[in-house]
C-alpha cells in the first residue's frame, strides 16, 4: 500500500513539475502532460469504445431474454388455464325444487336434465345419556369399560376404558377411541340435573351403533334414542337409488347431487354449460401470443426505434430468437395428442395463425365447434383429465402440449435461460477486459510522462549550456571591440 501511495505521489509531483516548467517557459515549452494524455487516449479511446459496445450488447441481450422469459410465462399460464376439463367451461345446475340440486362439477359432466324425487334423507343415529348435575359429577369409584358396536351388515366392537370418572371424562374417552361415534357434553339448561352426553354416529344404515357399560349410562333407556340411522333414497328417472350420504357423486357423471329435504313429487334437475369462459380464455391466449410476437419483432429489428426502449436488443442473436418463436408457432399448428372426432387442433375451434404470423380467433368457427362437438373440444384440449402435471407420461391434451413446449424453453437448461446466462458471462468478461485496458493505458500514460519529463530535464540542461556559451561568446566579442 505504501509503495502505491509513493508511486502516485511521484507521478503527481512529476506532472506538476512539468507544468511549472512549461509555465516559466523552461524546457522545450511543450505541454507534455496534455501531450502524454492525448497520445494515450489516441490508443485507448477506440479500444475502449469497442469493448463498451460489446458490454452494451451483452447487457441488451440479458434484458431482452429477461423480457422473453416474462412474456413466455404469461403465455404458459394462459394455456395452462385450459389444460383441465373443469376449466374449459363453467357448468351450473338448475332445479325446480330447492330440496335438491347439483352443487359441484369436475369438468366431465354433460348437459342434461333428470327427474328426481327425494324419498328419504340420510340420517345419523343420535342417543343421549342419563342426566347429571355437573360436568364433573362422579360416576362410580373405579375405572370401567364402555363397549361400542358399530355397523349393520358387518360390525366392529370397541372396548373403551374410562379412567376419568365424570361425564366430561366419558366424552373424552369415546372421542379418543375414534370409533366413528362422536360424543359431546351439553348443558340443557334444566334446573338441577341438566348435563347430558350426546352420541352421534355416521349417516347411513351402516352408521348404526349400540353402547353398553357398567355402570349403565342410560343410552339404551326408552326415549334416549333421538334419531335412528338410515340411508338416503331417491327416485332417479324411475330408478330407486340408496346411498349412506346426502351427496350422490356417482349418479350423474361429473356432478354431485346434494339432498336437503324430501320431496312430495319428482323435481327436474338440469346441468348447463357456459362456454363463454372457454371463449374468453382462447381470446386471452390470442392476445398474449400476439404480445409475445410483437415483443420478438421489437427485440430483433435491425431498424432501431429510439422511442422503444428495447428496440433491436437481440438483433445480433436473431437465430436464437427465431428458434424460440418457431417452437411455439409449430406447437400451435400441431394436432392434439388427444384429437377427438372432428376436433384435432386449435384451428378446429377458430384459433389460427395468419400470413403475418399473428394468432387470430374466428368466433363463428368456435361457436359451431362447441355447439356440434363440445365433448370433442374438451377431449382435444384436456384429454378429459384434471390436475395435470408436467411429469406424467400419458396424453394430456393440446393446451398442456403447448404449455410443455414453453416450459422446455424456460427450463434452467432451456434456450432462454442459457442465452441469458451466456450473455451475463460475456458481459462480465468484457467488464474485466475494460478494467485491464484502463490499467494498461494508465501505465502507458505514466511511461509517456516519465519519458517526456526526462526529455524536459535534458532540454533544460542543453538550454543552460546554450545560454552559458552565448554569454561567453558575447564577452569575448566585447573584449575585441575595445
**Of 36-45, 185-194, 232-241, 394-403, which has the strongest mean pLDDT?**
232-241
Asked if residues 160 and 129 have their Cβ atoms less than 8 Å apart, the reply is no
Q: Are residues 130 and 176 in the same domain?
A: yes
Q: Poorest-confidence range of 192-196, 267-271, 461-465?
A: 461-465
* 37 within a domain of the structure (yes/no): no
- Host domain of residue 194: 124-230
φ, ψ dihedrals at 271, nearest 5°:
-120, 130
> Residue 98 corresponds to which cell in the numbers above?
330447492
Q: Average the pLDDT over each of 194-198, 291-295, 315-319 and give the range with the smallest value.
A: 315-319
Q: Is residue 103 part of a domain?
A: yes
Asked if the model's pLDDT at residue 50 lies above 80, the reply is yes
Same domain, 116 and 247: yes
Bridge-based pairing of strands 195-203 and 239-243 is unpaired
* Cβ atoms within 10 Å of 240's Cβ, excluding its own: 9
In terms of Cα–Cα distance, which of 173, 222, 228 is closest to 197?
Answer: 173
Task: Determine, yes or no, domain membership for 94.
Answer: yes
Q: Average per-residue pLDDT in the chain?
A: 85
How many domains in the chain? Answer: 2
Q: Would residue 154 count as lying in a domain?
A: yes
H or E element that contains 343: none
- What are 65's three cell numbers? 431474454
pLDDT digits (tens, 9 = 90+) for 175-201: 999 999 999 999 988 666 689 999 999
| Buried-exposed string 338-371: b where 16+ CB fall within 10 A, e elsewhere | bbbeebbbbebbbbbbeeeeebebeeeebeebbe
140 and 218 part of one domain:
yes
pLDDT at 17: 47
Same domain for 135 and 201?
Answer: yes
Q: Distance (Å, rounded) from C-alpha 53 to C-alpha 51?
A: 5
Can you tell me whether residue 266 is helix, strand or coil?
coil
242 by Cβ neighbours in 10 Å (0-12 / 13-18 / 19+) ranks as middle
pLDDT of 461 reads 76
Best-predicted range by mean pLDDT (137-141, 207-211, 412-416, 424-428): 207-211
Cα separations in angstroms, 213 against 143, 166, 210 = 11, 14, 11
Closest listed residue to residue 220, CA positions, set 124, 127, 123, 125 = 127
273-303 exposure pattern, b = at least 16 Cβ within 10 A, e = fewer: bebebbbebbebbbebbeebbebbebbbbee
Give how far the C-alpha of residue 91 lies from the chain's centroid of Cα atoms, to the nearest Å. Answer: 26
Query: 91 near 271, Cβ under 8 Å?
Result: yes
Residues 253, 116: one domain? Answer: yes
- What is the rounded average pLDDT of the residues 383-401? 78
Dist CA 150 CA 147 (whole Å): 10
| Domain co-membership, 219 together with 150 | yes
202 and 105 within one domain: no
169: cell is 371424562
Residues 263 and 143 reside in one and the same domain: no
Note whether 205 and 224 are same-domain residues: yes
Percent helix, percent strand, percent coil in the chain, to nearest 5: 50, 20, 30
Q: Is residue 20 part of a domain?
A: no
Q: Answer whether residue 2 shows pLDDT above 60.
A: no
pTM > 0.75: no
Out of 243, 274, 305, a domain closes at 274
Radius of gyration of the chain (CA): 45
Same domain, 267 and 143: no
pLDDT, residue 302, reads: 79
| Residue 279 located in a structural domain | no
Q: Which three cell numbers stand for residue 161?
A: 376404558
Residues 119, 124, 130: CA angle, nearest 5 degrees: 135
Q: Are residues 160 and 193 in the same domain?
A: yes
Q: Which of 215, 245, 274 is the last residue before a domain boundary?
A: 274
In this prediction, residue 28 carries a pLDDT of 59
How far is it, in rounded angstroms, from Cα 33 to Cα 449?
Answer: 7
Residue 210 lies in a domain: yes
| Domain contains 107 | yes
**pLDDT over 90 at 231, yes or no:** yes
Residue 289 pLDDT greater than 70, yes or no: yes
Percentage of the chain beyond pLDDT 70 is: 90
d(CA 418, CA 106): 39
Angle (CA) 397-402-408 rounded to 5° is 125
Together in a domain, 191 and 155: yes
Report the alpha-carbon distance of residue 225 to residue 203 in Å, rounded: 15
Amino acid at each position: 500500500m505504501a509503495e502505491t501511495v509513493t508511486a502516485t505521489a511521484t507521478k503527481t509531483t512529476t506532472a506538476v513539475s512539468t507544468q511549472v516548467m512549461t509555465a516559466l517557459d523552461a524546457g522545450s515549452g511543450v505541454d507534455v502532460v496534455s501531450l502524454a494524455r492525448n497520445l494515450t487516449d489516441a490508443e485507448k479511446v477506440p479500444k475502449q469504445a469497442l469493448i463498451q459496445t460489446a458490454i452494451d450488447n451483452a447487457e441488451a441481450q440479458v434484458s431482452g431474454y429477461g423480457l422473453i422469459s416474462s412474456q413466455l410465462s404469461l403465455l404458459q399460464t394462459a394455456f395452462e388455464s385450459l389444460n383441465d376439463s373443469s376449466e374449459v367451461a363453467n357448468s351450473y345446475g338448475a332445479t325446480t325444487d330447492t330440496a335438491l340440486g347439483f352443487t359441484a362439477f369436475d369438468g366431465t359432466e354433460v348437459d342434461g336434465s333428470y327427474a328426481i324425487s327425494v324419498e328419504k334423507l340420510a340420517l345419523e343415529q343420535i342417543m343421549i345419556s342419563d342426566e347429571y348435575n355437573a360436568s364433573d359429577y362422579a360416576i362410580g369409584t373405579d375405572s370401567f369399560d364402555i363397549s361400542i358396536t358399530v355397523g349393520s351388515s358387518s360390525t366392529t366392537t370397541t372396548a373403551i376404558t374410562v379412567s376419568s370418572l365424570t361425564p366430561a371424562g366419558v366424552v373424552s374417552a369415546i372421542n379418543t377411541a375414534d370409533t366413528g361415534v362422536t360424543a359431546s357434553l351439553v348443558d340443557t339448561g334444566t334446573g338441577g340435573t341438566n348435563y347430558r352426553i350426546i352420541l352421534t354416529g355416521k349417516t347411513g344404515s351402516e352408521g348404526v351403533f349400540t353402547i353398553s357399560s357398567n355402570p349403565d349410562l342410560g343410552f339404551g333407556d326408552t326415549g334416549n334414542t333421538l334419531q335412528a340411522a338410515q340411508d338416503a333414497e331417491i327416485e332417479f328417472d324411475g330408478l330407486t337409488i340408496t346411498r349412506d350420504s346426502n351427496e350422490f357423486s356417482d349418479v350423474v357423471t361429473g356432478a354431485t347431487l346434494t339432498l336437503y329435504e324430501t320431496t312430495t313429487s319428482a323435481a327436474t334437475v338440469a346441468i348447463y354449460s357456459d362456454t363463454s369462459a372457454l371463449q374468453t380464455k382462447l381470446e386471452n391466449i390470442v392476445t398474449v401470443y400476439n404480445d409475445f410476437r410483437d415483443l420478438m419483432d421489437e427485440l430483433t429489428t435491425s431498424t432501431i426505434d429510439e422511442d422503444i426502449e428495447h428496440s433491436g436488443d437481440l438483433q445480433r442473436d436473431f437465430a436464437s430468437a427465431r428458434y424460440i418463436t418457431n417452437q411455439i408457432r409449430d406447437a400451435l399448428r400441431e394436432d392434439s395428442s388427444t384429437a377427438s372426432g372432428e376436433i384435432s387442433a386449435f384451428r378446429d375451434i377458430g384459433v389460427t395463425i395468419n400470413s403475418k404470423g399473428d394468432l387470430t380467433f374466428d368466433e363463428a368457427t368456435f361457436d359451431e365447434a362447441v355447439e356440434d362437438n363440445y365433448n370433442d373440444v374438451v377431449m382435444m384440449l384436456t384429454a378429459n383429465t384434471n390436475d395435470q402435471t408436467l411429469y406424467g407420461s400419458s396424453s394430456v391434451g393440446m393446451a398442456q402440449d403447448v404449455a410443455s413446449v414453453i416450459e422446455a424453453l424456460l427450463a434452467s437448461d432451456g434456450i432462454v435461460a442459457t442465452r441469458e446466462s451466456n450473455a451475463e458471462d460475456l458481459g462480465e468478461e468484457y467488464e474485466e477486459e475494460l478494467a485491464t485496458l484502463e490499467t494498461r493505458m494508465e501505465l502507458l500514460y505514466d511511461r509517456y510522462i516519465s519519458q517526456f519529463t526526462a526529455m524536459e530535464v535534458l532540454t533544460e540542461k542543453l538550454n543552460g549550456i546554450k545560454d552559458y556559451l552565448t554569454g561567453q561568446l558575447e564577452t569575448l566579442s566585447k573584449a575585441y571591440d575595445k
